[in-house]
Amino acid sequence: MDDLVARLRAAGCVFAAEEAAVLLDAATSPEELEAMTVRRIGGEPLEQIVGWASFAGLRVRLLPGVFVPRRRSELMVRLAVERLRPENGPIGRHEAADTRIDAPGPADRSVLRVVDLGCGSGAIGAAVAAKVPDAEVWAVDIDPDAVTCARLNLPPHRVLFGDLYAPLPGRLRADVICANAPYVPIREIALLPGEARDHEHRVALDGGDDGLAVQRRVVAGAGAHLTDAGVLLIETSRNQADSTRRLAEASGMKATIHTDDTVDGTVVEFRR
């Protein structure tokens, strides 16, 4: 253990002791432990090596290349749950969409509906579902590896491959849309830590020239996919929050910035 901690610390792992414990628990043999250690020293994210990430009290399955859920996204989960919990007054109940995309008509039960847009591993949707068990969670991603991964963490038939809203059933309306869309300006990707820059697919990071390219499209399409009282939650950075909020002006929506210093999270909430 001490030798492993020393090797990890020498490689720049800030939480070397904690990471060593995770590797020791995950490895099934000394040979596998050594292989995992070499990968970690080489800069690969610990979560991708062991195949899971700790997020919002869950152990979320993870595959190589897929965006590693950050603790800051727990703010989005908390906000979504607050909007959905019955004790806070559910913002909408309606008939559930059939699990088939081309379903001719709705099922006959009433649910709350959440969309995890640009879902990555599906961590946000899975965390919301764990806290609001009666919510019907849908998830979408344009990265096929992310879709494969999210189907390990969410009902597979509700994890869809495609660009933003395009693959959702046409009649589906959500009470909450959670969008952790990429928001890193393209010129800043080279400045990211190697774990993200070299080991997470670029499509999960690249927000275009100003970091708002995908967010603009998320906001523009939200109106057609929200219930009348529904909300859109977009994660962003602290220094981009005002720019994200201003997207509301062009969309005819109202926006509020939420921050949480405990997890270093920033989320902009949009309402009609």
- Inside any domain, residue 20: no
Question: 241-272: per-residue pLDDT in tens?
Answer: 999 999 988 888 999 999 999 999 999 999 98
- Inside any domain, residue 51: no
HSE-up of 43 (CA within 13 Å, CB side)? 9
* pLDDT for res 272: 86
Question: The domain that contains 167 carries what CATH number?
Answer: 3.40.50.150
Select the more confidently predicted residue: 105 or 142. 142
pLDDT at 106 over 70: no
pLDDT at 95 over 50: no
Taking residues 182-187, what's their average pLDDT?
94
Q: How many whole angstroms separate alpha carbon 182 and alpha carbon 164? A: 12
- Inside any domain, residue 32: no
For residue 232, give its domain range: 65-271
pLDDT band at 111 (very low <50, low <70, confident <90, very high): confident
* pLDDT for res 108: 32
- Inside any domain, residue 76: yes
- Inside any domain, residue 167: yes
- Inside any domain, residue 136: yes
pLDDT at 94 over 60: no
Taking residues 208-219, what's their average pLDDT?
95
User: What is the pTM assigned to this prediction?
Assistant: 0.89
**For helices 123-131 and 74-84, angle between their N-to-C axes, nearest 10 degrees:** 40
Number of domains in the chain: 1
- Inside any domain, residue 34: no
Question: 27-65: per-residue pLDDT in tens?
Answer: 999 999 999 999 999 999 999 999 999 999 999 999 999
Instruction: Report long-range pairs for 33-38 (Cβ below 8 Å, ≥24 apart).
Output: 33/4, 37/4, 37/7, 37/8
Q: How many whole angstroms separate alpha carbon 222 and alpha carbon 8? A: 44
